[in-house]
Copies of this chain bind each other. A is one copy, B any other.
């Protein structure tokens, strides 16, 4: 490598970290947890070809690597504090590194958090970020608190819906054709997701359970149902679908929205009486929130049309997208 590991860290990944007692450059970072707070910790690894395409701009890759981790903190209602980055690089490409650092630090600055440590090595491109957040004891949003009768909610962009990231992936794969502006819109959704940190904080004491939608709404909902020991009904007519996806065939809309993945919206439950408070929390966070169903004592998940009739959707095997479209 033209630029050694030490120089690379010094040049691109060392910034002042007022959040830390000791930041990048020693064996460990040192942080002083706020008195009485619990720490929420999450670690996500991004691999080229699986979590991002080689065509992604490095600024967006830096953003996304941190965003998907912040999304986990959001889903716990935790306030972000700091993060570490471990990075395997096939080669030292300074333009790539400068862009990656830019996207990473722009999002970190927006959330007031610092990069406190990590590792760089040669190897197939891989980004592993670990984030730390704080939450008062007993106030973390978990997957196991949903109760029969709770309303089921999902956040969404103010003027959009879920499923755009998956639609973009299908466009990249050549399975759907989109015009230039539509493609750019859904590509941005895929490459630059916005973690719903403010909403997560606003849902403390309000939501009974929460999860972030990374693997697809239905799949992630099943984790909540299993953990909470309940079932659910979703009204297909209530799903938030953005304008670009709304121009696709109905079946594809449902599939992208329900099983697309990479949305990083919050899926959460709350008592029916909390509807106005949920809407207020979403408005304060600058995002939309839609009630898409309710939880049931009867186990399993039922998808209903506007008349309340069960709709048998084949969402299994959705990884083979083309076959279902």
Binding site for B on A (CB under 8 A): 21-22, 25-33, 35-45, 47-51, 72-73, 75-76, 78, 84-88, 116-119, 121-124, 126, 128, 130, 132-133, 135, 137, 140, 142-144, 210-212, 227
Contact = CB atoms under 8 A, between A and B. Distances in A.
A286 to B, nearest CB: 21
Given A22-B140, A122-B47, A123-B126, A38 B27 contact: no
A26 B40 CA distance: 10
B27 A86 contact: no
Contact of A50 (B44, B122, B211): B122
A142 B45 contact: no
A119 B33 contact: no
Given A43-B117, A126-B124, A38 B26 contact: no
B22 A121 contact: no
A39 B30 contact: yes
Given A84-B130, A212-B27, A117 B45 contact: no
A123 B294 CA distance: 37
Given A43-B119, A122-B50, A133 B88 contact: no
Contacts of A45: 86-88, 119, 121, 123, 126, 128
A41 B88 contact: no
A contacts with B: majority SS: strand
Nearest to A71: B27
Nearest to A45: B86
Given A43-B118, A86-B43, A38 B21 contact: yes
A11 to B, nearest CB: 16
A244 to B, nearest CB: 28
Given A33-B33, A121-B47, A27 B75 contact: yes
Contacts of A119: 43-45, 128
Contacts of A26: 76, 142-144, 227
A78 B41 contact: no
A28 B75 contact: yes
Q: Give the 6 A-B residue pairs with the shortest CB-CB distance, closest first.
A: A47-B123, A128-B128, A28-B40, A27-B75, A45-B86, A124-B124
A43 to B, nearest CB: 4
Contacts of A27: 42, 72-73, 75-76, 143, 210-212
A227 B22 CA distance: 13
Contact of A76 (B30, B47, B123): B30
Contact of A28 (B121, B133, B137): B133
A123 B124 contact: yes
A29 B39 CA distance: 8
A119 B131 CA distance: 13
A135 B84 contact: no
A38 B30 contact: yes
Contacts of A132: 41
